[in-house]
Amino acid sequence: MTAAALATTAEGADPIVSVEGLTLRFGGVVSLAGVSLDHQRGEILAVIGPNGAGKTSLFNCLTGVYQPQAGHIRFRPAGRPPVELVGRRPNRVNRLGVARTFQTSRLFNALSAYENVRIGVESRQRTGPLGAMLRLPRTLGEERASRVRSEELLEFVGLTGRADEVASVLPYGDQRKLEIARALGTGPELLLLDEPAAGTNAGEKAALEALIRRVNQEMGVSVLLIEHDMRLVMSVADRVTVLNFGRVIASGTPAEVQHDEAVIEAYLGRTEPDPAGGDSGTAGPGNAGSGPGGAEDGPVGPGVGS
């Protein structure tokens, strides 16, 4: 994290993805109203905001699930020319190096944990139907490679012992880890995590937090994170962008964002219970205690970068 923050200041801006004026409407409902943000290479960027603020819509635009009416998303993979993500199918976006997880995990439920990861790993390979049916030498080589890589990834997320278990019977926290492993299998440069900690207990949350940090540091993957758990956001994120009603209302280090008047008004709430703070069902994280809590704890303090 420190490295990423330093790199940003030293070289100036080096965004891995830049979103410009993204607008998404469903009929008369405006989900995103001109969202712009830069995600610096190597950093963990958190997107927070009340329910319905457009966070998941932003993810779905980034991954090609939704096609925005206006705006650009420029993805800059390392060592390759930048590409426009708007207008590409989800599988193309994934191939370019943007992987994602889902708000409610969407694993291949009847398959084992190992098979789930392997499907992710294999999506980068080239064996076609003929190679598969005839077991050509290249196929065998690729099979070996994907087997090894899948096992590595399961070990990375700590699911080696559960490789042969059916995905749907895994505990919730393990399902989230498995989804991350599957996404990592596709070899992303940018990983989008949609509420990875939703529904997990305190222990699982701590493990996920460590995992996200390791994905970022050991694998060198930039992470874009949607999360309601403010403690997690404040401890893991390098920068935070706050959305409300489809607009960016604040952006900065966790510490800056936490003290931003607009953010407190719209999302975090004040330290003393303030009914006016919550506008549209700010469930869970909207309670007043979590904001300051995040600031106090901090082996990875939010102030390091500034």
Partner 1 sequence: MSAATVPASAGRGPAGWWAWARGVEGRRLVAWILSLLVLAVMTGPSGNNGSPTTGFTGSLLHPRVLVFVALGVAGWALSALRRSQGERLRRLNRSILALPQRAVADRRNRLLVYLVVLGVAIAYPLTLSGFWQQVLVDQIGIFVLLAMGLNVVVGYAGLLDLGYIAFYAIGAYSGAYWTGSLPVHPPFHLNPFWVIPLAIAAAMLAGLVLGAPTLRLRGDYLAIVTLGFGEIIQIAATNLQSVTGGAEGVSGIPHFSVHVGGLHYAWKLSNLPYYYLLLAFVVIALIAFHFLADSRVGRAFTAIREDEVAAEAVGINLLKYKVMAFAIGASTSGVAGLLSASKISFVSSEYFTVQLSILVLVLVIFGGMGSLPGAVAGAAFLQWVPQILRQHPLFGYQPQDLYIYLGALLVVMMIFRPEGMLPSRRRRRELALAERGIGTADAMSGSSDPAVGP
Q: Among 185, 269, 277, 302, which residue interacts with partner 1 (rule: CB under 8 A)?
A: 185
Binding span for partner 1 by CB under 8 A among 4-12, 120-128, 234-242, 278-286: 120-128
Q: Judged by CB under 8 A, does residue 260 bind partner 1?
A: no
Q: Judged by CB under 8 A, does residue 89 bind partner 1?
A: yes
Residues whose CB is less than 8 angstroms from the CB of residue 62 and which lie 6 or more positions away in sequence, other chains included: 17, 19, 73, 85, 93, 98, 100, 192, 224
Q: How far apart (Å, rounded) are the C-alpha atoms in residues 291 and 284?
A: 12
Report the residue number, 59 or 258, with the smaller CB distance to partner 1.
Answer: 59
Q: Residue 75: name the closest of 191, 186, 249 by CA.
A: 191
Helix, strand, coil shares of the chain, percent, nearest 5, are 40, 20, 40
Q: How far apart (Å, rounded) are the C-alpha atoms in residues 43 and 150?
A: 25
Q: Judged by CB under 8 A, does residue 80 bind partner 1?
A: no
CB of 6 vs partner 1, minimal distance in Å = 33
Q: Judged by CB under 8 A, does residue 107 bind partner 1?
A: yes
Q: How far out from the chain centre does Cα 5 lie?
A: 18
Q: Among 33, 72, 74, 108, which residue interacts with partner 1 (rule: CB under 8 A)?
A: 108
Q: What is the token pair recorded at 7?
A: 């790199």
Q: Judged by CB under 8 A, does residue 14 bind partner 1?
A: no
Q: Among 70, 166, 300, 304, which residue interacts with partner 1 (rule: CB under 8 A)?
A: 166
Binding span for partner 1 by CB under 8 A among 7-15, 77-85, 107-115, 240-248: 107-115
- For the chain, counts of helices (H) and of strands (E): 12, 10
Q: Judged by CB under 8 A, does residue 8 bind partner 1?
A: no
CA-based torsion, 44, 175, 268, 202: positive or negative: negative
Q: How far apart (Å, rounded) are the C-alpha atoms in residues 120 and 106?
A: 13
Q: Among 13, 78, 132, 283, which residue interacts with partner 1 (rule: CB under 8 A)?
A: 132
Name the site residues for partner 1 (rule: CB under 8 A): 51-52, 56-57, 60, 63, 65, 89-91, 94-95, 99-100, 102-104, 106-111, 115, 118-120, 122-125, 127-129, 132-135, 139, 142-143, 146, 166, 168, 182-183, 185-186, 194
